[in-house]
Amino acid sequence: MIWCGALVVSRLTRTRLLNPKVVHTMSIVMNTDSSRRSIRLWQLISPALPVGAFHYSQGLEQAINRGWVNDVETTESWIAGLLERCIGSVDLPIICKVYDAWKAGDKEGVKEFDRLCRACRETAELRDEEEQMGTALCDLAGELDETLPAEKMGFTAAFAVIAVNNQIPLEDALNGYAWAWCENQVLAAVKLVPLGHRMGQRILRDLGPVISDAAANALQCGAIGVTAPGFVIASASHETQYSRIFRS
């Protein structure tokens, strides 16, 4: 027997592992598995996912109506602020909690954090958005033969459960969720401010570091809570806004 770090292998096994053909085959298998997980994540965060995300601006429409958001700079500042203080402090930590609970087979834990997520939606429109998108995602997942809890979940918890089912790494799931949210906000801003599509892409590029930082903080900290009163005011005011395109 030959010691190789902490691994003990026979001479025959060692010879086979060092065989370039064997190593190449193992690399192909590992890369294929990783690619499949990535592709599943892309499907989950695609704008084509039929959950109705394009119906919602999450208060952005009211912020524009009030003049808080009116150009490229204020648009990027608004989205980055919500990414840090709302998505990064509620959605992403909730995904971490649900991901760990579902992975451990803790169905009650999934239910508990789903309820907490809904409780953090501070206006009727935000709660409706969470529930309606969650119902749509759960219905779709059922048609795609995903294993889900018996009760319908909000969108955030359902996203985490599906990520576990498809062995999507948690950090990738967090980055993907945050990216999809930012993309939806930018698309709304392009219509409402309005902005050019190229300016929208510039904003998305600049938000990249904010997305990765928010995901990293969620993994390390895990504290849950909204700290954006202006956002809540905008969302609540949107409920009675006379002329509007979006549901939130």
Residue 28, pLDDT score: 55
Question: What's the pLDDT at 20?
Answer: 54
Q: What is the mean pLDDT of residues 153-165?
A: 98
Domains, the chain, with CATH or none: 2-32 (no CATH), 55-238 (1.10.4190.10)
Q: Is the pLDDT of residue 57 over 60?
A: yes
SS (H, E, C) the chain: CEEECCEEECHHHHHHHHCHHHHHHHHHHHHHHHHHHHHHHHHHCCCCCCCCHHHCCCCHHHHHHCCCCCCHHHHHHHHHHHHHHHHHHHHHHHHHHHHHHHHCCCHHHHHHHHHHHHHCCCCHHHHHHHHHHHHHHHHHHHHCCCCCCCCCCCHHHHHHHHHHHCCCCHHHHHHHHHHHHHHHHHHHHHHHCCCCHHHHHHHHHHHHHHHHHHHHHHHHCCCCCCCCHHHHHHHHHHCCCCCCCCCC
Percent of the chain with pLDDT over 90: 77
pLDDT confidence tier of residue 240, bands split at 50, 70 and 90: confident
- Whether the pLDDT of residue 241 is over 90: the answer is no
Structure confidence by residue, pLDDT tens digits, 179-202? 999 999 999 999 999 999 999 999
